[in-house]
């Protein structure tokens, strides 16, 4: 089962996704994309770590998500990726040695072959004002394009608003 969980900031998407993974009864892997680059982000990371204490195995990977998913995959596991929009931001600022398109394709290529349950968490950023700066517009575009591609291949897509999950897509795994 591969699920994409979308929502705005503070929508409850992370708590929803974490509980879904815990409910599987499998070993839970938290694949974190955030980097602690300032005090505010460090506090956010610590809040998330506190919620997962003692239950989750945490793997931190800010850039090479496809490779990290392959490396943690096993049928008795569930993997929560938190979050794709931070990952896109990391890729955009990584510099010339890292290609956003190559890393997106690596992620999309690895997902169908995974044996673990996977939950991908991402911010829905395309419902606001069109950003003024070129980099901000590219960020919104890249997130939107990635969400569309993921929605096609995921078994389930859930939108979380005000802590309430709305199922946008639900099909049996592997049924196309």
pLDDT at site 75: 98
Look at residues 117, 120, 90 and name the one whose alpha carbon lies nearest to residue 103: 90
Compute CA distances 124 → 45, 51, 89, whole Å.
Answer: 20, 23, 14
Whether residue 83 is preceded by a cis peptide bond, meaning omega within 30 degrees of 0, is: yes
Helix 100-110 / helix 65-72 crossing angle, nearest 10 deg: 30
- The DSSP bridge partners found for residue 159 are 6, 166
What mean pLDDT comes out for the span 98-116? Answer: 97
Query: Phi-psi region for residue 171, left (φ > 0), alpha (ψ -120 to 50) or beta?
Result: beta
The residue ranking higher by pLDDT, 171 or 54, is: 171
- The answer, yes or no, to whether residue 176 has pLDDT greater than 90, is no
Summarised one tens digit per residue, pLDDT across range 72-96 is 999 999 999 999 999 999 999 998 8
The answer to whether the beta carbons of residues 120 and 2 sit under 8 Å apart is: yes
Pairing of strands 2-7, 117-123: parallel
Catalytic residue list contains 48: yes
Decide: residue 52, CB within 10 A, 0-12 exposed, 13-18 middle, 19+ buried.
middle
Residue from 13, 48, 77, 147 carrying the catalytic annotation? 48
Helix 134-153 / helix 100-110 crossing angle, nearest 10 deg: 10
pTM of the shown model: 0.91
* Domain covering 2-170, topology: Rossmann fold (3.40.50)
Least confident of 45-49, 78-82, 100-104, 142-146: 45-49
Q: How confident is the model at residue 124 (pLDDT cuts 50, 70, 90)?
A: very high
Compute CA distances 109 → 54, 73, 161, whole Å.
Answer: 32, 14, 29
């Amino acid at each position: 089962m591969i699920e994409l969980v979308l929502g705005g900031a503070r929508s409850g998407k992370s708590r929803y996704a974490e509980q879904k993974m815990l409910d599987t009864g499998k070993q839970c892997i938290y694949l974190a994309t955030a980097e602690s680059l300032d005090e505010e982000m460090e506090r956010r990371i610590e809040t998330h770590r506190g919620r997962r204490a003692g239950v989750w195995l945490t793997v931190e990977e800010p850039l090479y998500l496809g490779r990290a998913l392959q490396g943690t995959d096993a049928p008795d596991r569930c993997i929560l990726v938190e979050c794709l929009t931070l990952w896109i931001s990391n890729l955009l600022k990584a510099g010339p040695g890292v290609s956003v398109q190559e890393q997106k394709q690596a992620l999309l290529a690895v997902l169908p072959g995974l044996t673990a349950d996977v939950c991908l968490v991402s911010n829905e950023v395309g419902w606001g004002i069109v950003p003024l700066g070129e980099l901000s517009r590219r960020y919104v575009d890249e997130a939107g394009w990635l969400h569309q591609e993921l929605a096609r291949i995921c078994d389930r897509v859930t939108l979380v608003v005000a802590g309430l999950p709305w199922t946008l897509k639900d099909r049996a795994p592997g049924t196309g």
